[in-house]
Amino acid sequence: MPSLAGTPATVQKSGMTFPQNLPERSWEQIGANLRELANSSAWWLADWLLYGEATYGWRRYKEAIERTGLDYQTLRNYAWVARRFEHHRRRDALSFAHHAEVTRLAPPEQDYWLRKAEQLKWSRNELRRAVRAALAAQSDETQALPDTDRQQAPRPAEQEPAAQITVELSARQLEHCSKAAAAHGLPLDKWVARVLETFETPMT
């Protein structure tokens, strides 16, 4: 775990002072440690809050606000992100903010985009732009449908009841499908439904 212990800087609650002739490498390492501590603190606060929620119930936010000095919305956002990512799905190489960018996606799409961000060393803003571009492309495809196709699509009230099916996939197959769904800006289940529609044939 990153720490400032043993660094040549003097750390106080109200600031940090540095010795003269501090080696550049030491200065860089201090910055990296500060970044990691700041990122970890968001996860720590979120997990602390979730524990309080599970253990002490409704009092959690009142106590958390008093103990941390953070506002209700900030704490709620932290907890919301943490709920969406179990510990084994969190990526140490990415920031809390990276994870927050994909919280509204389905878990397979979250994993796909975070893995891509880690491989390509994207910043939070680069990840945001990539996800938004994929969603915008999907929206453009929908809007580009001919009017006749739109008219033929049943209205929500006229749609047949949905049926639920279970499909077993290998890890490799799941990853392949998740990538395809993410490329179209769709949750995995909606992408599968769209693919199945392409095989639909009239009853004879």
Give per-residue pLDDT as tens, 48-94: 888 888 887 766 677 888 888 888 888 889 999 999 999 999 999 99
φ and ψ of 95, to 5 deg:
-80, 165
Q: pLDDT exceeding 70 applies to what percent of the chain?
A: 66
Q: How many CA atoms lie within 13 A of 64 on its CB side?
A: 25
pLDDT recorded at residue 163: 61
Tell whether the model's pLDDT for residue 111 goes beyond 90: yes
Q: Please write the tens of the pLDDT for every residue from 15-29.
A: 888 888 888 888 888
Angle at alpha carbon of residue 61, lines to 56 and 62, rounded to 5°: 95
pLDDT recorded at residue 156: 44
φ and ψ of 58, to 5 deg:
-65, -20
How confident is the prediction for the chain on average, in pLDDT? Answer: 78
Q: d(Cα 198, Cα 176) in Å, to the nearest integer? A: 18
- Place 153 in a pLDDT band, splitting at 50, 70 and 90: very low
User: Taking the model in full, what pTM does it have?
Assistant: 0.62
